[in-house]
């Protein structure tokens, strides 16, 4: 895969590839399938202690995988203390890699699996960790835009912020971009009824656009309805290329470069 004189592969900026139960053939097979499909970098995102440890272990076993540690708003009621030590060097396993970002964290008022005050507390605490450790912050927000921006403003915006699986429209995109954040688009952007998300993608500069699967969820067209996997991130990129009127190679290159700016812990593209 070549664009000009640069050779690079797709980057899946947000996936849960460590999920053996749901990844086709298990995590190892899903990583290999992604590599075979031209996806050379995967960001495996933690949602609680167990999944953060699984992401770190997957990163230890696969050079193409890089892990985050976070507490999802669904799990916020358990408290950030359950993951806090995972940002430090492991005493028991010196080979465990360091996380490249904090998250996913944020607010989800659609499901409200955790009380909203607990969500805000956990979100604020993880913003604090990102600021203290100078790590990127990966945000999950659903039906909670105003409170998300309010908590970010109150706690102090980290240097690098990614709004993952962006589900807002152009207005929310403008608010997020005004903070300097990156927007990461998932398979939703390929869905027929996702006009607002597609409009947001059109409004997002390519140097702030990331591409993700959020696998095993949200499989893109033409795979919709099946268990998602990182190998299918090019399908999301192709749709973004159509929206921007550029080639898929241009999106592959620009999203890979943007991912390195969003996550400095990633290796060069």
Per-residue model confidence as pLDDT tens digits over 78-90: 999 999 999 986 5
Instruction: Give the pLDDT of residue 90.
Output: 55
- Listed in order, strand segments (DSSP E) in the chain are 2-3, 6-7, 10-15, 39-44, 65-67, 102-108, 137-142, 161-163, 182-185, 209-211
- Tens of pLDDT, residue by residue over 49-67, are 999 999 999 999 999 999 9
Q: Residues in the chain with pLDDT < 50?
A: 1-6, 91
Q: Using CA atoms, how far apart are residues 115 and 70, in angstroms rounded to an integer? A: 18
pTM for this entry: 0.95
Superfamily name and number for 9-262: Metal-dependent hydrolases (3.20.20.140)
Instruction: Give the pLDDT of residue 96.
Output: 79
* 151 touches 121 (CB < 8 A): no
Q: Using CA atoms, how far apart are residues 162 and 176, in angstroms rounded to an integer? A: 9
Rg (C-alpha) for the chain, rounded Å, is 17
């Amino acid at each position: 895969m070549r664009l000009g004189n640069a050779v690079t592969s797709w980057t899946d900026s947000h996936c849960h590839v460590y999920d053996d139960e749901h990844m086709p053939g298990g995590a190892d097979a899903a990583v290999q399938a992604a590599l075979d499909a031209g996806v050379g970098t995967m960001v495996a995102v933690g949602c609680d202690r167990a999944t953060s440890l699984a992401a770190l272990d997957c990163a230890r076993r696969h050079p193409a995988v890089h892990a985050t540690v976070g507490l999802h708003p669904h799990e916020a009621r358990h408290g950030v203390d359950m993951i806090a030590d995972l940002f430090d060097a492991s005493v028991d396993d010196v080979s465990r890699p360091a996380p490249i970002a904090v998250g996913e964290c944020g607010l989800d008022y659609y499901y409200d699996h955790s009380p909203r005050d607990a969500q805000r507390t956990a979100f604020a605490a993880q913003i604090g960790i990102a600021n203290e450790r100078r790590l990127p912050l990966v945000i999950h927000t659903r039906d909670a835009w105003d409170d998300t921006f309010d908590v970010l403003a109150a706690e102090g915006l980290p240097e690098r912020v990614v709004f993952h699986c962006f589900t807002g429209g152009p207005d929310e995109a403008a608010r997020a971009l005004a903070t300097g954040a990156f927007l990461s688009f998932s398979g939703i952007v390929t869905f027929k009824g996702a006009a607002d998300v597609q409009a947001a993608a059109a409004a997002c500069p390519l140097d702030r656009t990331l591409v993700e699967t959020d696998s095993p969820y949200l499989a893109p067209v033409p795979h919709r309805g099946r268990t998602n996997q990182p190998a299918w991130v090019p399908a999301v990129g192709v749709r973004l290329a159509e929206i921007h009127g550029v080639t898929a190679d241009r999106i592959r290159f620009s999203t890979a470069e943007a991912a390195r700016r969003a996550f400095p812990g990633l290796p060069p593209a």
